Each structure stands twice: as structure tokens, then as C-alpha cells.
Amino acid sequence: MKRSLLSLLVFAGLLSYGCKSPEPAQPQRPNIIFIMSDDHAYQAISAYDNSLIETPNIDRLAKMGMLFTNASVTNSICAPSRATILTGKHSHLNGKVDNHFHFDTTNVTFPQLLQEAGYQTAMFGKLHFGNNPKGFDQFKILPGQGSYYNPDFITKHEGNIQVEGYVTDIVTDMTLDWLANERKADQPFMLMYLHKAPHRSWLMAERHLEDFTNRKFPEPKTLFDDYAGRAAAAEAEMRIMDHMAWAGDNKVFPAVMDELGIPEIGYDKTRFQSEYGRLTESQKAAFDRAYTPINEAFKKAYPSMSDADKLRWKYQRYLQDYLGTIQAVDENMGRLLDYLEANGLMENTIIVYTSDQGFYLGEHGWFDKRFVYDESFKTPLLVSWPQRIKAGSRSDELVQNLDFAQTFLEAAGVKAPSDMQGESLLPILTGQNDKWNRDAVYYHYYEYPAEHMVNRHYAIVTKDYKLVHYYFVEDRWELIDRKKDPMELKNEYDNPAYKQIREELHRRLTDLRVKYKDNSELSQKYIDDLMRDASAGKVFGVSPDKIREIQNRRAKIDLEKK
Ligand code: SGN
Ligand code: CA
């Protein structure tokens, strides 16, 4: 028996020796589906943390592929994050440092390179660049922030259109329609599927109203943070208590605000009216059915509420609406994954789920983002590619949105331009961690003065520490010990016990700024640009008084430096 097997093998070997060996089959280039939501906190994905919501469909990616626990952004704000993703460059080099100015379309982006290399490309949903994307065979994008209900779209082939319904469902319909009817079977594709949800002002789909407006959520430990030792945190205008709008965000009816004598926060009632005004009669009826009982109960409770009660109430209202919008994202994610499975498109498709940044869900008493503190610096990242990534794997490497462009280009066999600044994640994704050796990342946030007033800052982040420089209206450093103080409540910068660590981090931060080609001259250019527009009254939420205050503070810093 053994002998006959051996002779069979020898015979087969001879045969193949005699013939010309067949060309090794070219591995088929993978499809790429890049899914991104807007402001989706990792705390609100059950694969990360199931104390707030179950997201079984997003979690399918973690089961099929890899979940990253230390993924972060380079600049925690919408359009700059998108620009970093598309260009593979930090904000100071791609020029999109804030939401205020338009994206410079002379930048080279990875979709353009993939299109040139034979990929079919499409984008659906939120871009927020102030101009149209290049390198796409098809796009249907929301103008600016877009609307939750009955949204308008700018389209490549049909002009401007309005579609009745709920934005998350509509963007998915468009995506599925493209996959079914426009996708060419003989070409690999790169699809960007970009949700508006869960961005402010958190309007959930009609079908989720009843369920989510009746849920109650655990409070974060730092809901009542006093910001001791963290001047920029104290100054920021993103506290749920003081800056979240009663009507515009929390859906207190303007008439109820009047009745109770509650003063407006920002353009509180106008925003409510304009969102509500977009609804059809039946959508209005569903909205009223859900929010009338809440308003009735609030009217009774309000007169005897303490400040702490009010914060708690607003926190619950905020999370109900925010998480309600995520329910639709998760359901629609299920629709997409089911389609891919049913059509044999799962195995050789890289599917990425991420957000343009993280978000505060009451941590530090906040909503919004912008800071280098974890909840907004980190972002969810789940990647599946059954052909190459081990199911159910996890990585705690320091990866960034800066890395996507090079990852996709490498996976597609396209050479990345040498001025891209990220690194391909393929070694991590395919279990070759020895080929990955990043031990620190660089962060730089610019949008100040602007809504929410988060001072400009740059930072080095390692697995153990953060060293942060706030430099615009104050000149102050923060050092955070990530292991000892995961809630990031203590500034250790002046603590003598950290002297050596502080000096080491300063050295490394200087090196990183050289490596990524960032410097104070560039920062100054971006300051001048935004200040010019802010002084001309062109920056939302920044009054002439504020400008004067800023100028005085900057003059004081200059004086101290002399
Ligand atoms: C809007 C929101 C802000 C938010 C920015 C940026 N205000 O201006 O709360 O920080 O977008 O968000 S709102 O009153 O218009 O809702 S980003 O995700 O686009 O960067
Ligand atoms: Ca965002």
C-alpha cells in the first residue's frame, strides 16, 4: 500500500517536472468597503462595551475579523479626519486642518489611485468637504452636515436630489442599489459608505422612537468632573449641562421652554424648528407621540429639579437620542453584510468599520469631541477580510486613521506615493506583528476659535503616557499617566516624580514633529487664516467680544515670553 502511494507520488512529480508548471494564479485583488459613521463613540459598540447598547451587526465584523483597541485619529474633528483618511497625510500637510475651510482638491487621494489602477469606485453619504470628491465613478453625498429626515443629496449623475425617508436607510439603499445594479463583476471595487448618524442633533428613525425614549442608561463616573488642573478642559464649551441645547438637542418643545422660563442655549429653538420643519406630517405625528409624554413629565419635574438633577436628565435624554440613531446604523449594517454574504462578496472584501472620531457620552460632563482625551482621540476600528484576517482577533497596536490609505493601496498592489505619512496595517491584520514597530503617535487639533472653544493643542501619545501642549490662548502642558489614571483626571506635568518621563516625552515629541514635518510656522499660518475669518464675523459661534478676549490673552502670552 505504502509503496504504491510512493510510486504514485513519484509519477506525479515526474509528470509535473516534464510539463511547464502552470502560472501561479494571480491572487484576485480584494474589494474594499470603507464604512464610517460620524461621531460614533467606541463606548456605543457592544464589541467594545455593551453597557449602553447592543450592536450585533457591527459586532459581526469583530467576530469575522479584527478589533482594534487603540485606534486613534490625528485631529479629532470631522472633515480634517476625512482628509487624513483620503490623503494619508497629517492635517498640516493636506491643508484641511479644520471644518471651516474647503478641502484642497489638488491633494492626491487613495480613491484616485485605486481608480487609476482599475478599481470601480463609489461614495455614498457624508463627506463634509465643501466640494465634490475626486476619483469616484459614482457618488451621492450629503451637502455639508446633511439632514436626518428627507435629506438632500449632491449626486454625480443626477444633479441635486431630495429623498423622502430616514438618512441612514436611504444611504444604505443607495449603497445596495449600486452593488446590485452598477457594480461591474469583472472589476474590483472600492466603496465608501458614510453615515451621518450619530451626529448632533440626534434624530432617530421613527421606528426606534418608542423604544429608545423609554430607556435608561448608566452614568459615567466622570459626569460631574470639576476639570481641576486642566485649564483647556475647564474652558471648553461642550458641557451637557451648560452647552447642550434644551430644544435643539434634548427635544424640549420651545413652547415648554417658554412656559418654564428656560433660557435658550445657542440657537436652541431655531434649530429645533428647522429640524422639525423638515418632517412630513406623519413623521411629525410619530415625533410628537414620542416626545409629548417626555415634555409633560419634564414640565412637572422641572420646578423642583436641582442642577445635578438637570444634568442627569439631560444626560439621559442625550443618550436616548444618540443611541437611538445608532440602532438604525446597526440594522443597516446588517442589511449590507447580509447582501455581501448572499452574493459571495464576503471572503475577498476588506470591510472597515470606523468613525471620523470618537465622542464624549457624558465623560467629563461632555458631549462633542476635539480633545486628545481618550473618548474623542480614540475611534472604533473593526476590520474583516476572511481570506487574510483571523476571525475573532484583536490588536492593541497604536494605529491611526492616517494608515488607511497605505493599507488599501498595499492590499490592492498599488504603490503608495512616498509623501504619504502612515503605515500599511497589513502586517498587523495578517498576524505579522514583528513587522510593525510604532510606539507613539502624533496628534494636532486646530479649530479654535470656533464652536465649543477647545484650545489648539498637539501631543505625543504612547501606550503609557500623553504629553500635550495647549498653545494658542494659553501656553500650558499636560502630562497624563494613562495606566494609573485611565479616566485622565490628573495633570502630572509639574509632579517631580514624573521629571524624567516628562523630559523623555519632550524629546520624543520634538522628534515626532520633525518626522511628520509639523512646526510652529505652519501653525501660525493656520492661526492667521482662521482669525482673519473669525474677526470678519465668518466663524459660527464666535462673537466680536470673544475675539477681543482672545487677542488680549495672546498678547499676555507674548508678554510673558519676552
Ligand atoms: C456642528 C455641531 C457641533 C459640532 C460640529 C462639528 N453643532 O456645528 O456641535 O461640533 O458640527 O461636527 S450643531 O448645532 O450644528 O449641531 S463634525 O462632526 O462635523 O466635525
Ligand atoms: Ca464627526
The predicted structure's pLDDT at residue 16:
43
Query: How far is 183 from 39, CA to CA, in rounded Å?
Result: 29
The C-alpha cell of 477 is what? 502642558
The predicted structure's pLDDT at residue 26:
64
Does 451 contact ligand 1 (Cβ within 6 A)? yes
Query: How far is 154 from 139, CA to CA, in rounded Å?
Result: 8
| Residue 354, strand partner residues | 36, 381
Contact 325, 275 (CB under 8 A): no
The predicted structure's pLDDT at residue 14:
41
Tally Cβ neighbours within 10 Å of residue 282.
9
H or E element, residue 412: none
Ligand 1 atom 4, closest CA: 368
Nearest to 285 by CA among 210, 173, 201: 210
Output the CA 227–ligand 2 centroid distance in Å. Answer: 24
Ligand 1 atom 2, closest CA: 200
Does 312 contact ligand 1 (Cβ within 6 A)? no
Q: Which ligand places an atom closest to the C-alpha of 371? A: 1
Q: Which ligand places an atom closest to the C-alpha of 358? A: 2
Output the CA 510–ligand 2 centroid distance in Å. Answer: 29
The predicted structure's pLDDT at residue 465:
99
One-character DSSP codes across 212-258: HTT---PPPTTTT---TT-HHHHH-S-BHHHHS-TTTTT---HHHHH
Output the CA 529–ligand 1 centroid distance in Å. Answer: 20
Output the CA 273–ligand 1 centroid distance in Å. Answer: 17
Query: How far is 393 from 351, CA to CA, in rounded Å?
Result: 15
Contact 478, 466 (CB under 8 A): yes
Output the CA 33–ligand 2 centroid distance in Å. Answer: 19
The predicted structure's pLDDT at residue 21:
52
Largest Cα–Cα separation, the chain: 96
The predicted structure's pLDDT at residue 558:
85
Question: Based on the number of CB atoms within 10 Å of its own CB, is 154 exposed (0-12), middle (13-18) or buried (19 or more)?
Answer: middle
Does 407 contact ligand 1 (Cβ within 6 A)? no
Contact 232, 455 (CB under 8 A): yes
Ligand 1 atom 7, closest CA: 200
Residue entry with cell 521629571: 499
One-character DSSP codes across 121-142: EEEEEE--SSSPPSS-SEEEEE
Question: Based on the number of CB atoms within 10 Å of its own CB, is 186 exposed (0-12), middle (13-18) or buried (19 or more)?
Answer: exposed
Which atom number of ligand 1 is nearest to the Cα of residue 78?
A: 20
Q: What tens-digit pLDDT sequence spans the chain (562 residues)? A: 444 444 444 444 444 444 445 566 667 999 999 999 999 999 999 999 999 999 999 999 999 999 999 999 999 999 999 999 999 999 999 999 999 999 999 999 999 999 999 999 999 999 999 999 999 999 999 999 999 999 999 999 999 999 999 999 999 999 999 999 999 999 999 999 999 999 999 999 999 999 999 999 999 999 999 999 999 999 999 999 999 999 999 999 999 999 999 999 999 999 999 999 999 999 999 999 999 999 999 999 999 999 999 999 999 999 999 999 999 999 999 999 999 999 999 999 999 999 999 999 999 999 999 999 999 999 999 999 999 999 999 999 999 999 999 999 999 999 999 999 999 999 999 999 999 999 999 999 999 999 999 999 999 999 999 999 999 999 999 999 999 999 999 999 999 999 999 999 999 999 999 999 999 998 899 998 889 999 999 998 898 898 999 999 998 888 888 8
Does 201 contact ligand 1 (Cβ within 6 A)? yes
Q: Which ligand places an atom closest to the C-alpha of 376? A: 2
Amino acid of residue 393: S
Q: Rounded to the nearest 10 degrees, what angle do helices 307-342 and 167-181 cross at?
A: 10
3-class DSSP string for 30-42: CEEEEEEECCCCH
Residue 407 φ/ψ, nearest 5 degrees: -65, -50
Does 452 contact ligand 1 (Cβ within 6 A)? yes
Distances (CA, A) of 527 to 129, 489, 539: 20, 29, 13
